[in-house]
Amino acid sequence: MKKSLTFNFMATGVGSVPFLDVDYTCQHILKIFPDIPFWPQFVKRTPLEDMSIQASQGLPLLEINHEKSSIYVTSSNDKDIELISFYEHFMAEDTDYFAVSHDYATGLYKLLELVDKSPQSYGPFIKGQIVGPITFGGGLKDLTGKSVLYNSEIMDTVVKGLAIKALWLIKKMSISDKRPIIFIDEPYLSGFGSAFTPIRREEVIKFIREVIDYLRSRSNALIGIHCCGNTDWSMIIETGVDIINFDAFEFMDYFMLYRKEIVKFLKDGGTVAWGVVPTTSFSGRETVSDLKMQLEKGLNRFYDWGIDRSTVAARSIITPACGLGAIEPDKAERILEVLSSLSGIMSETRSA
């Protein structure tokens, strides 16, 4: 990541929203997050916009269970044919084969349409997201009933399929000289190390790094990782990611345990995306002043560690703690408004 980049507490979203009106939502996002608009996932409109289903097109040996709004591994008699076709398209870098169609991502197409009409009205970035390989694989069982995380054949297609699909997204978002930011969403890594995440540290790093290296060698996109719970943040940093997005409302103290790794990450040009506005625990009584105080707890720790204020500001983005898809629409709208206001105050404070 280039050290000349300056975010200065710009705000953006995580991904999912509970709204139904695509046009209004995208217009509103552009209005309140003009610097880093994000394309929203309308999970309440259709299960096709669920993070895993949305990313499943073009991946072999998978089908959608529409009744359960989930994907599953098939027992296809054409397994070899499907795998051969997949690898042929992947090796040819046929990104269009792995496209996310309009029905699976209405917010992507609408937001880009609006940006392209008036690109000068918005900042230099567009932010998107894709489910990470650990979360995608962790939500699937193979035909033996075991997690796909233990099935090397299927996991290889998952990792490579998500990598080239993310590349398609990056190309799609590269309009009007905007620089794409893509977050790899890994909620499965919340509570990493417990019995609920039975995957080794080196495997996590290997799978995610393969996606990151693939994208970095083929684009100038900035790559982030979002995890909305507690995890091994040194492991996340070791993947080589550009941006780390964490829940800075509930898990600030846990994140700060990784002082040495975080300091190096920042000095190497990394950016922290502070998920400082709560989501599931949002009451509606939170004020911008309250959240500013919470954010400053983390910022002050960075200052105490010897990171100067200008560097911290340049390497700071603010977001909600997690996606908003499961939140009531009125609360979700309030969360976005508070976030936008906090971004404005922090930017003004920095420039004053």
What is the pTM assigned to this prediction? 0.96
The helix (run of H) or strand (run of E) holding residue 64 is: strand 62-65
Does pLDDT of 4 surpass 60? no
Closest CA to 224 of 275, 162, 181, 164: 181
Whether the Cβ atoms of residue 343 and residue 296 lie closer than 8 Å to each other:
no
Which pLDDT does position 196 carry in this prediction? 66
Query: CB within 8 A of 331, min separation 6: which ones?
Result: 282, 284
Alpha-carbon dihedral sign for residues 73, 75, 80, 85: negative
Q: What is the mean pLDDT of residues 58-63?
A: 96
Whether the Cβ atoms of residue 214 and residue 244 lie closer than 8 Å to each other:
no
Which pLDDT does position 194 carry in this prediction? 64
- Per residue in 235-244, pLDDT tens? 999 999 999 9
Distances (CA, A) of 325 to 16, 50, 65: 5, 9, 20
Which pLDDT does position 233 carry in this prediction? 97
Which pLDDT does position 245 carry in this prediction? 98
Which pLDDT does position 253 carry in this prediction? 96
Query: CB within 8 A of 258, min separation 6: which ones?
Result: 233, 234, 237
Does pLDDT of 349 surpass 80? no
Which pLDDT does position 5 carry in this prediction? 80
Query: What proportion of the chain, given as a percentage, has pLDDT over 90?
Result: 91
Residue 166, both tokens: 């993310």
Lowest-pLDDT range of 129-133, 144-148, 161-165, 270-274: 144-148
Average pLDDT of the chain is 95
Question: What is the spatial distance between Cα 38 and Cα 41, in angstroms, rounded to a whole number?
Answer: 10
Question: What is the spatial distance between Cα 185 and Cα 23, in angstroms, rounded to a whole number?
Answer: 25
| Sequence-ordered strand ranges (E) for 97-238 | 125-131, 179-185, 222-227
Does pLDDT of 350 surpass 70? no
**Residue indicated by tokens 């394309």:** 39
Q: What is the mean pLDDT of residues 244-248?
A: 98
Does pLDDT of 234 surpass 50? yes
Query: CB within 8 A of 179, min separation 6: which ones?
Result: 124, 125, 126, 220, 221, 222
Helix/strand/coil for 320: strand
Parse the chain into domains and list their residue ranges.
Answer: 14-268
Query: What proportion of the chain, given as a percentage, has pLDDT over 70?
Result: 96
> What does 16-32 look like in DSSP terms, one character per residue?
EE----HHHHHHHHHHH
Which pLDDT does position 337 carry in this prediction? 97
- Per residue in 163-204, pLDDT tens? 999 999 999 999 999 999 999 999 999 978 665 667 899 999
- Per residue in 105-144, pLDDT tens? 999 999 999 999 999 999 999 999 999 999 999 999 988 9
Describe the chain by its helix, strand, coil percentages, rounded to 5: 50, 15, 35
Does pLDDT of 39 surpass 80? yes
Does pLDDT of 2 surpass 90? no
Q: What is the mean pLDDT of residues 277-283?
A: 96
- Per residue in 72-83, pLDDT tens? 999 878 999 999
Q: How far is CA 1 from the centre of its chain?
A: 17
